[in-house]
Amino acid sequence: MPTHTHTSKVYEHELRTLREKLLHMGSLVEEMIHQGAVALTTRDSALAKSTIRTDRRINRLECEVDELAMRILATRQPVASDLRFITTALKIVTDLERIGDLSVNICERVLELNEEPPLPPVEDLGSLSEEVIAIVHEALDALVERDVERATTLLTRDAVIDEHYSRIFRELLNLMARDPSTVYRATRVQSIAKYLERISDHAMNIAEVVVFLVKGKDIRHWNKRTESDVPPEMHDEDIAPAGTAEDGKGVRIPAPSPTGVRRGS
């Protein structure tokens, strides 16, 4: 019995450490997006370079999460909700790392733009940045709180991002047609808008993860754009929370956090 108790405490500590590393990654990538947007708006090259350096910490945490999750799988043989959390964590870090990479890409384009005269303001770019930052924040909060309703609502906002990007793209095309000397700068701005759109896609993965963790349902391929597209079986009254009938115990996931997952139940 003492050995069992000791092993259980070590196992719980490992799960808690895994959660904390994911939380830390989430907070870092969220800050990177914000700093990239500020660097773009203020033409702050020093901030852009500082943000790029942060990516090394993201990469290191990714390796640590992968190693810890694999060790738990190999030595603890988790089942039910613990298994779902650990395998999901292995996928979460991929989206987190990609958000970090995309934030670096934004900052690299900022550095290139800062070597050139400023373009006329692109009307929708600021709105797109704000919307993406809000979506990432909301997605991470939904994951931490395991809030399915919040997550499914978030999935409907993808169309807003697409519309922002389309308007920016059209505006930049018109600008380049009127003034070919802006092509180099306009294509950099277009790349930044595309990076922001892709960050939003990873945030949508996070929302899908919340549904998977709480409901045990994989909704990756529903490609929701409106609330009416949410599959009927995802409504709360139709599904018992994961960890009841299937697992025989309550969900013991230690409130993980960060980003988008591609999972299977």
> Is 68 a residue whose pLDDT tops 90?
yes
> What does the CA dihedral 195, 34, 111, 105 come to, rounded to 10 degrees?
-30
Confidence of residue 195 (pLDDT cuts 50, 70, 90): very high
Can you give the pLDDT at residue 222? 65
Distances in Å between the Cα of 252 and the Cα atoms of 19, 142, 248, 262 are: 12, 17, 12, 20
| Cα 48 to Cα 143: distance, rounded to the nearest angstrom | 28
Question: Is residue 206 a contact partner of residue 259, using CB atoms and an 8 Å limit?
Answer: yes
Domains in the chain: ranges and CATH: 1-115 (1.20.58.220), 122-241 (1.20.58.220)
Question: Is residue 24 a contact partner of residue 61, using CB atoms and an 8 Å limit?
Answer: yes
pLDDT tens-digit readout, 88-125: 888 888 999 999 999 999 999 999 999 999 999 998 99
Burial profile 77-100: b = 16 or more Cβ within 10 angstroms, e = fewer: ebebbbebbbbbbbbbbbbbbbbb
Q: Model's pTM, two decimal places? A: 0.80
Confidence of residue 5 (pLDDT cuts 50, 70, 90): low
Residue 261: name the closest of 77, 135, 84, 15 by CA.
84
Confidence of residue 81 (pLDDT cuts 50, 70, 90): confident
> Is 179 a residue whose pLDDT tops 90?
yes
| Cα 46 to Cα 212: distance, rounded to the nearest angstrom | 40
What are 156's two structure tokens?
A: 């409907």
Mean pLDDT, the chain, rounded, equals: 83
Can you give the pLDDT at residue 202? 95
The dihedral region occupied by 41, where left means phi > 0, alpha psi between -120 and 50, and beta the remainder, is alpha
Say which amino acid occupies 8: S
Q: Average pLDDT of 55-84? A: 91
What are 60's two structure tokens?
A: 């290191």
> Is 34 a residue whose pLDDT tops 90?
yes
> Is 71 a residue whose pLDDT tops 70?
yes
pLDDT tens-digit readout, 207-241: 898 888 888 887 877 654 444 444 444 444 433 33
| Cα 151 to Cα 140: distance, rounded to the nearest angstrom | 9
Helix (H, G, I), strand (E, B) or coil at 168: helix
Q: Average pLDDT of 175-197? A: 97
Can you give the pLDDT at residue 258? 37
| Cα 53 to Cα 35: distance, rounded to the nearest angstrom | 12
Question: Is residue 256 a contact partner of residue 144, using CB atoms and an 8 Å limit?
Answer: yes
Can you give the pLDDT at residue 217? 81
The residues near 181 (Cβ < 8 Å, ≥ 6 apart) are: none
User: HSE-up of 244 (CA within 13 Å, CB side)?
Assistant: 6
